Structure 1
Amino acid sequence: MPWKLPELDADLLALAKGYPYEAPTESYLYRDGRTFPISQADFVGRTPVIGHGSNRAPSQLRRKYGNLSGRQSEIPVTLAWLHGYDIVYSAHVTRYGAIASTLCPAPGCRVVVAINWLDSEQLAFMHRTEGFYSYGSLRGVDLRQFDGQGPALSEAFVYRGDHGCLLKDGAPVGLAASWGENRPHRKMSQAEALALVHARHGFVDDLDGHILATIRDEQARLKILEALGAEALHQDWPHFHLTSL
């Protein structure tokens, strides 16, 4: 089962509006809900999975893996430059109300992503938390980890949003919280993206009430997802190879 949502309205709204959540500006080792120097990490037997949204944040890892402790909880998280892609909003409202991220091909652009190094059990659980995404590998892509932080990479795995890219005036919208260079798309905060999506699909004055409705009413959320998907940009990723789960 996915991780449990909070019960209070204020906590739910903070979760929706806070995406993709605060994250360190350097690589780290996640353990027992805290961060430690990456020099303490053991990478043996782990799968590198690109985190382009909330999975780069310790708070999100704590929500997903908070039931684990000690070495079982350890997840090395290394930062890397991903070339040829931008981090944009997907046409997807998560079950906790946020507008999630996806990648979008963007020649000449590079963005900072996190590499979550997951063991087999952690990876299996991550799959269960990533709804409306397809899992596969990026091969032949220019992915450069920050100096001395993690093993060399010949490929990495990633979750690709199934609903495509959210559009504003016919173009994808970049996550303002993401770091990059030569990003070609206009950038929005999560609050701006939420207002954009909900203005298109029903709310007039009470944005918070509409966000809470999509969290608490699965059918309402799925109706928005269907509408967003119909007007989204769907692209092939040139380096993506689907992996059977």
Structure 2
Amino acid sequence: MSADQNRVGPPEQTDFFARATGYPYSRHLCPVLFDPARGTHPAELIRLGEQGEAVLEGLARPIPVHAATVRIGARIVVIENAVVVIAAGSNASPHQLQRKYAGRADARPMLVMPAIVHGACSVYSAHVTAYGSIAATLHPDPAGKNGLHVLVMPVTELAPMNATESLGINYVLAAPTGVSADVGGHRIARPLAYVSRRGALTIDGRPVRLVELDGGAGARPAASQIEMLNRARRLMEWQGPLEAFVAAMIADPDYRRAVTSRLAADAVPWHLDGSEVLAGC
């Protein structure tokens, strides 16, 4: 089966409105190796080695790493010093990763794979991206077991990923207590995650799941990207069509910040303590 046949979600589109409303973009039902130089290929996690530690400049403390052995057809790839990062939104999509790693064909490959996340779920963050989407964030779900994705990535690629996440503005990088992930038969305690500094966007005081990721399951309301953008349009009392509203947010950073401020006014934060936050305070 090709990587494309194993994908869930609509194909990639290029115009600004399709990009904004297509968030969180298509992702794969089975593990794939994302390689900026070679593309995306079906893969299998064979082994995740014993946990070690790595020190990375800019992080508050050492982070756990593993040696990940991956099979791609007849080829074996070992990702040394791999860190496990929960992909709460678009980082699960190789299309988004390709955009983030454009111009970095020398970047080392990473594994993108489904996982069961315990203790947290994916919900909308109370902020708008530069490309006009309402982004996702990880949020506490103490009794939850949620089907998300993780990145098993070389620790050397974490800093470039951090640079795409607006650390200190929209997100912090955290290792939340009470969160774990089942990854290919391995239980990872306190995987890394990007957690919104703005908090979780709410409807009637409750965080909102992404329909595309969780199918509306659970006690929280669920909505599509278009539904959430329309809600933001109504909150801002924008009288024109949704496409014009999205175009305005993309073109005018001040207006985009105003929309973000309005969404954040009713947001529910995740109160992480200092021992959980690694960068972006």
TM-score for the superposition, normalised by structure 2: 0.76
* Residues 239/186 of structure 1: CA separation in 2 closer, same or farther (3 Å cut): farther
* Identical aligned residues as a percent: 29
Q: Distance in 1 between matches of 2:91 and 2:195?
A: 13
Determine if contact 1:84/1:108 at 8 Å carries over to the other structure.
yes
| Distance 1:91-1:136 versus aligned 2 partners, 3 A rule | same
Larger strand proportion of the pair: 2
Per-residue deviation, 1:204: 2.1
**1:68-83 maps to which residues of 2 (within 5 A)?**
68-69=104-105, 72-83=107-118
Rounded to whole Å, the distance in 1 between the matches of 2:172 and 2:78 is: 27
CA distance in 2, matches of 1:35, 1:98: 27
- 1: distance between equivalents of 2:257 and 2:132? 12
Partner of 2:142: 107
Is 1:168 aligned to 2:203, yes or no? Answer: yes
Corresponding residue of 2:17? 13
Distance 1:234 1:244 in 2: 17
Which residue of the other structure, out of 160, 180, 183, is the alignment partner of 1:142?
180
CA distance in 2, matches of 1:238, 1:185: 25
Q: What stretches of structure 1 move > 3 A for 4+ residues in a row?
A: 179-182, 237-240
Q: Is it true that 1:211 corresponds to 2:217 in the alignment?
A: no
What is the CA RMSD across the aligned residues, in angstroms? 2.4
Against the structure 1 CA distance between its residues 33 and 199, is the aligned structure 2 distance closer, same or farther, given a 3 Å change threshold? farther
1:140–1:239: 8 Å Cα contact kept in structure 2?
no
Q: For residues 52-82 of structure 1, what are the alpha-carbon distances to aligned partners after superposition, in whole Å with 9 as ceiling and x for unaligned?
A: 1000001001101132336x34111122111
Where structure 2 has 5 or more consecutive residues not aligned to the other structure, the ranges are: 1-13, 45-70
The 1:172–1:140 alpha-carbon spacing in structure 2 relative to 1, beyond 3 Å, is closer
Aligned length: 233
Q: Partners in 1 of 2:117 and 2:108 — Cα distance?
A: 26
Structure 1 CA distance, aligned partners of 2:256 and 2:97?
24
Amino acid at match of 2:16: L
CA-CA distance at 1:176 after TM superposition:
0.2
CA deviation string 1:10-66 (max 9, x = no partner): 711111000000100111111233233232342321221111100000100110113
The equivalent of 2:171 in structure 1 is 133
1:126–1:239: structure 2 CA closer, same or farther, 3 Å change rule?
same
Runs of 5+ consecutive residues of structure 1 not aligned to the other structure: 1-9
Of residues 204, 217, 241 in structure 1, which corresponds to 2:276? 241
Letter in 2 for 1:45: N
For normalisation by structure 1, the TM-score amounts to 0.86
Between Structure 1 and Structure 2, which shows a larger proportion of helix residues?
Answer: 1
